[in-house]
Amino acid sequence: MSAGQFPGPIYRDTRDLTPFGGGKVRTPVHEIAEGVGGLIHGVLGGGDSRISVDGSVPRLKLLPGKAARTVYDAIFSSADPNRLIAAGRAYPGWAGLCCVMAGLLAYKQGGYLRAAELLQRGLSIRNDDEANQFAASYLTRVVTRVEVAERIVVPVLFSEESVFLALSHCLRETGQTEAAFETLVRLPPSLPTALARCALAAALGRDQEVVVWTEGLLNADDLSAALLLVRARSLRRLGAYGQAQQALKEVLRRQKTSMSLRNDALTDRALMLLDNGRKSLNPRDWQRGKQGELETFEVIRKDIEARRAWEQKWKQFGGD
């Protein structure tokens, strides 16, 4: 998809309600803390790799059908994707939903290749009305924490966006960058989707599209700050150093921006100065540096002349 097909930004979400929660920037300290916390939690018997739910698990209505009971138990009471796959085989009208949920479960557990296969299979299968009604009744609180860009994680309630963003991340992790990008094309505009798409577009060298899609973006939260960093890097590769500088300045403007993102902005600004070379430095600083170099050369020249004069006198006195 070319930039011409998207003449304006793609990060503006006009919906009153969206499936997205607040984004989080992963840092090495957070990952260590989470790892230690997870280890302690597991030792104490509290480890849980089942589907995540926002709040409590919804109660199953009285006298459910056998298919609904089987799928409900496989989703909320098990951490094994194979159980959902078996439920889908037992009830073909539910196979699409079961494969999608098995894919989200595998995604949570870090099995990106298997998750991609299951999600793609689930999206290709049509569900019965009963399965669709089950999803609308019981899966609205299911949460998938999706890595929309490197180190940026966003919790997404069960929806088209949670499935396609998770699938895109799986494809990215397995080296299928172009397919990961195409997976997001049909999703509605939103900041998390824009960050995911722009990060992939930048990786594919489609910097002009990134610039068009992020025009007018301001730093309102860490997601927008991360997207501004992607914009700045694309502008830098296009040679638009002035606009890139403005994007980095916007990242640094908001004091509550994640320290990790602020450090990235400072690093990018330093790299941009190196790209620009001495033209980007203050002319007075450059002249001062040049004068210092000349003074150094002058001292070296005088030292060489003094040594030559001393050697000549030594030879006059019969020195070897």
**Residue range 108-149, pLDDT digits in tens:** 999 999 999 999 999 999 999 999 999 999 999 999 999 999
Residue 197 is assigned to a structural domain of this protein? no
pLDDT, one tens digit per residue, over 20-32 is: 999 999 886 444 4
Q: What angle do CA 195, 175, 29 make, to 5 degrees?
A: 60
pTM, entire model:
0.81
Residue 96 is assigned to a structural domain of this protein? yes
Asked whether residue 48 carries a pLDDT value surpassing 60, the answer given is: yes
Cα distance between residue 162 and residue 145, in whole Å? 8
Residue 304 is assigned to a structural domain of this protein? no
Residue 135 is assigned to a structural domain of this protein? yes
| Position with higher pLDDT, 238 vs 277 | 238
pLDDT, one tens digit per residue, over 291-320 is: 544 454 455 555 566 666 666 665 666 655
- Tell me what the mean pLDDT of segment 65-87 comes to: 96
Residues listed for the chain: 320
| Enclosing domain of residue 143 | 18-30+47-192
Co-location of 151 and 260 in the same domain: no
Co-location of 69 and 182 in the same domain: yes
Q: What does pLDDT average to over the chain?
A: 86
Single out the residue in 164, 192, 220 at which a domain terminates.
192
pLDDT, one tens digit per residue, over 275-297 is: 777 554 555 554 554 454 445 44
What does residue 154 show for φ and ψ, rounded to 5 degrees?
Answer: -130, 130
Co-location of 101 and 161 in the same domain: yes
Q: Which run of H or E residues covers position 147?
A: strand 142-149
Co-location of 26 and 149 in the same domain: yes
Residue 299 is assigned to a structural domain of this protein? no
Co-location of 99 and 235 in the same domain: no
Residue 84 is assigned to a structural domain of this protein? yes
Co-location of 101 and 244 in the same domain: no
Co-location of 51 and 129 in the same domain: yes
Co-location of 178 and 233 in the same domain: no
Task: Provide the 3-class DSSP secondary structure of residue 140.
Answer: coil
